[in-house]
Amino acid sequence: MLEIDGLQVEPVIGLEIHVHLRTRTKMWCGCLLAYGAEPNTHVCPVCLGLPGALPVANAEAVALAIRMGIALNCRIAEFSKWDRKSYYYPDLPKNYQISQYDLPLCADGYLEFPFGDAIRKIRITRAHLEEDAGKNIHDIPGLTAVDLNRAGTPLLEIVTEPDLAGAEETREFALQLHRLVRYLGVSDANMQLGQMRFEPNINVRIHADGRVHATPIVEVKNLNSFRSVHGAIDYEIRRQVAAWREDGQVARPGNKANRGWDDNREVTVPQREKEEANDYRYFPDPDLVPVCPDAAQVAAWRLATPELPIPRTDRFISEYKLAPREAPALVDCKATADLLDAAGEFPCDKALLGKHFLSFWSRLANERETTIAGLGVPPRSFSELADLVRDKVINATAAAQIAEEIVARIDGQLGGTGRPGDSDCQRAIPPIDRPEWAPRELADQLGLVQSQDADEIAAWVAAAFEANQKAVGDALANPRKRKAARGFLLGAVMKLSGGKADPRLVGEQIDAELSRRAD
């Protein structure tokens, strides 16, 4: 419940989500999905809607839709069919869209996600399979240009019940869905490419004079960013309250309206309504026979559903001792999360392992514009390196150096090609495993095995004190400068030792020396 201008306002929001499925080819024909290709170069008689061409459903698209339905806790249909939804628009060459009307593949599910201190449960009405339209290009004066490369792209439409109660909550839900489809490999869900689009249905229940007044429902069309989802809902809530004050209109059959979102002005704008209500004249498509998902296959997919991002985040936080705000960085890329778990299978200090993933392994991946799973480092090397640090064989700086050396050697093998991009969260490359590249081996080769020799360290400390008398003087004269001066001296000793000195022992010796001189 919100308070707006002294009124108690309860927003009621349902969401429709369109997701491009991650297939190679279109829904009904063998044309490749191609983003940014020359216009009308990935088309054929089927997706051009030429007379006599017959569609055949893409089995992979059906599989992806069902796998998503399973993750959304949906009931998977035993019998599902295809229907024609008729309307005229230049980007729709057949003059109908093949969709699913009354027997969708997936129905009656829900998604739970943490929001604030609570777990929100949003019911999923249905998830059905259909095809995307082509693209109308309006920015050439005097004409509309049509590119049908996108026509026939497999599209999953997910519809929620009106269970969302605010702009921020809806944005978070949209983000969680985005994360989920990418996790399952159901969609790349690239927002810039329009692979995931949102259409919220919004109205508010205004509590006034002991009664509840529900404002007319508005559907905001085609939002392609999380920011615009939030912005459009936030704006609509305020606009609807103001409109109700003005005209007192409440929701009734037939007064639902469509609006668009103006990204520059950050307002919703009315869309030109057609003179008559849409009449889609749904009927079963005679060109396509029904789909009856095989129960054994569905059961197998159910079993193969990976641990989903939300529970995995919780587990990573407790298992790898990650801070809640750090966890998504390792969870959201599934291939990397799988690799962390593979490394964690070897007995090792998991907290250190997580720390290494967040620090130098991430940095090495970023430098190569790939993911940690794209580095090609064998799982055992991650845990072995963590163990060398835990056992104080090497220090943290040396660990980063060894990691860098391993990856540089793999670079040499790969010749700079074959790594997945940094947004490809599904693909790991096969690790390149050479016994002579094992972390322990490299620690020796690079002379990074830490010195625990007190005399050797004492010599470095003495040399550092000698060379940095100002820092020593500061530390002794001014207690407030002591911490900074100590850090400076520690750095100097590490440098003198070539990174080999055990920083903990160095610190102890510096403290002892400073105390001795202070007396």
| Window 390-409: residues binding another protein (CB under 8 A) | none
- CA pair distance 152, 432, nearest whole angstrom: 40
Q: Given candidates 1, 8, 119, 144, which one binds another protein under the rule CB under 8 A?
A: 144
For residues 136 and 58, give the distance between their C-alpha atoms in angstroms, rounded to a whole number.
25
Q: Please say which residue, 42 or 178, places its beta carbon nearer to another protein.
A: 42
Give residues 237-266 in contact with another protein (rule: CB under 8 A).
258, 260
**Is the Cα dihedral 218, 220, 225, 227 positive or negative?**
negative
Out of 90, 324, 412, 473, name the contact with another protein by CB under 8 A. 90
Crossing angle between the packed helical segments 469-477 and 503-518, to the nearest 10 degrees? 60
Position 211 contacts another protein (CB under 8 A): no
* Piece of the chain touching another protein by CB under 8 A; list 238-246, 270-278, 356-364, 398-406: 270-278
Counting contacts by CB under 8 A, is residue 53 touching another protein?
A: no
Nearest-5° angle of CA 315, CA 321, CA 326? 85
- Give the neighbor-by-neighbor strand order of the sheet with 96-99: 96-99, 83-86, 283-284
CB of 266 to another protein, least distance (A): 19
CB 243, CB 249: distance < 8 Å: yes
In the complex, minimum distance from the CB of residue 54 to another protein, in angstroms, rounded to a whole number = 10
Amino acid letter at 292? C
- Closest CB 24 distance from another protein, rounded Å: 5
Q: How far is the CB of 220 from another protein (least distance, A)?
A: 11
Kindly tell me which of 64 and 403 has the beta carbon lying closer to another protein.
64
Interaction between residue 426 and another protein (CB under 8 A)? no
HSE of 516, CA atoms in CB hemisphere, 13 A: 8
Per the CB < 8 A criterion, the answer to whether 189 and 425 are in contact is no
Total residues contacting another protein by CB under 8 A comes to 71
CB atoms within 10 A of CB 121: 11
Answer for the pair 340, 327: CB distance below 8 angstroms, yes or no.
no
At closest approach, how far in Å is the CB of 214 from another protein?
Answer: 25
Q: What are the beta bridge partners of residue 223?
A: 198
Nearer to another protein, 286 or 415 (CB): 286
Tokens 């610190």 sit on residue: 507
Comparing CB distances to another protein, the nearer of 99 and 313 is 99
CB of 132 vs another protein, minimal distance in Å: 5
Q: Which of 208, 245, 257, 290 binds another protein (CB under 8 A)?
A: 290
Closest to another protein by CB, 97 or 187: 97
- At 308, list the tokens: 């989903």
**Contact (Cβ atoms closer than 8 angstroms) between residue 501 and residue 493:** yes
Q: Does 77 bind another protein (CB under 8 A)?
A: no
Closest approach of another protein to the CB of residue 158, in Å: 13
Instruction: Please give the radius of gyration of the chain, using alpha carbons only, rounded to the nearest integer.
Output: 30
C-beta atoms surrounding 86 within 10 Å:
15
| 156's tokens | 């999953």
Smallest distance from another protein to CB 249, Å: 23
Helix ranges (DSSP H) in 345-414: 350-356, 362-367, 379-390, 396-414
Could you say whether residue 103 binds another protein (CB under 8 A)? yes
Confirm or reject binding of residue 281 to another protein (CB under 8 A): yes
Q: What is the nearest approach in angstroms of another protein to the Cβ of residue 197? A: 7
DSSP-derived secondary structure letter, 38: P
* Minimum CB distance to another protein, residue 211 (Å): 35
For residue 343, give the H/E element and its range.
helix 334-344
**CB closer to another protein, 243 vs 288:** 288
Our finding on whether 43 is near another protein (CB under 8 A) is yes
**CB distance 186 to 192 below 8 Å:** no
Site residues for another protein, 146-205, by CB under 8 A, read: 146-148, 155, 194, 197
In the complex with another protein, the residue whose CB is nearer, 223 or 496, is: 223
Where in 2-21 is the site for another protein (CB under 8 A)? 18
Closest separation in Å from C-beta 102 to another protein: 9
Among 12, 105, 124, 133, binds another protein (CB under 8 A): 133
CA-based torsion, 490, 492, 495, 497: positive or negative: negative
* CA 198 to the chain's CA centroid: 16
Is residue 199 within 8 A of residue 257, CB to CB? The reply is no
**Nearest distance from C-beta of residue 290 to another protein, angstroms:** 5
Q: Which of positions 431-490 make contact with another protein (CB under 8 A)? A: none
191 vs 396, beta carbon nearer another protein = 191
The answer to whether 24 contacts another protein (rule: CB under 8 A) is: yes
Q: How far is CA 406 from CA 276, 347, 386, 440, 441, in A?
A: 67, 21, 14, 11, 11
The region of 28-36, 118-126, 311-319, 329-337 touching another protein under the rule CB under 8 A is 28-36
